[in-house]
Every structure is written in C-alpha cells, then in structure tokens.
Amino acid sequence: QVQLVESGGGLVQPGGSLRLSCAASGKFFSINAMGWYRQAPGKQREFVAAITSGGTTNYTDSVKGRFTISRDNAKNTVYLQMNALKPEDTAVYFCNADMTLAGIRYYREDYWGQGTQVTVSS
C-alpha cells in the first residue's frame, strides 16, 4: 500500500517562509511526476507546482518567483520551499504523486497525501 505523508505546515507571518515535505512509502515500481496542490476554505483545490522525475518544474503564476519545488529521488521525497508568503497562500496543501506500480502488468496510479495546513497571518 502506498502512502504519502506531508509535514512542515504551520502558522507564519506575511513575508515569512515555510518548507513542506512529502515522503512516499510502500510498494511501487517508480514515481513519475510529484506535485503540490492547495485548497483554501470555500474554494476548489488548485494546482501549485509539479516536478517530473527528470527535474522539470511547473508552477502556477501566483507562486512563481516565491515557491520552489524540488525532489530527492533517493528518498522518494518532494519538497516545496515557500518564501515571501502572503495571506492568500493560506490553505491546506496536498502532495500528489503519479506512480507506476507492478502487478500482473505495470500500471499507473495517482496518490494524495492527507494535507498539511499553512496559515499566513500576522
């Protein structure tokens, strides 16, 4: 069974920084893209950033220049460094991983973490 476990959320003042981590564990053949999404109260979940297994990154416009996504393939972990945080970044942040699993044949499956709360407030 595959698990994604996030950590690093919390309360921070505007302009501050946080680093989120998401570690994948369980039985899988490989991890393809990994990413972060967020959901603010009363809003739909939205894409924040993603990184491929080769290191290609993609960001939503509102976080470009402030957030950096990275991954450690040896540790099956993805990170989100968040700088210059704004109150509008307040949300529950979810980790996502596109994985290849091996059964009778190889197949791909999408997994989500449980979410970690990020609150930006003075």
* Contact yes or no for 87/75 (Cβ under 8 A): no
Q: Does residue 48 sit in helix, strand or coil?
A: strand
Per-residue pLDDT of the chain (122 residues; tens, 9 = 90+): 899 999 999 999 999 999 999 999 999 999 999 999 999 999 999 999 999 999 999 999 999 999 999 999 999 999 999 999 999 999 999 999 999 998 889 999 999 999 999 999 99
* Contact yes or no for 77/20 (Cβ under 8 A): no
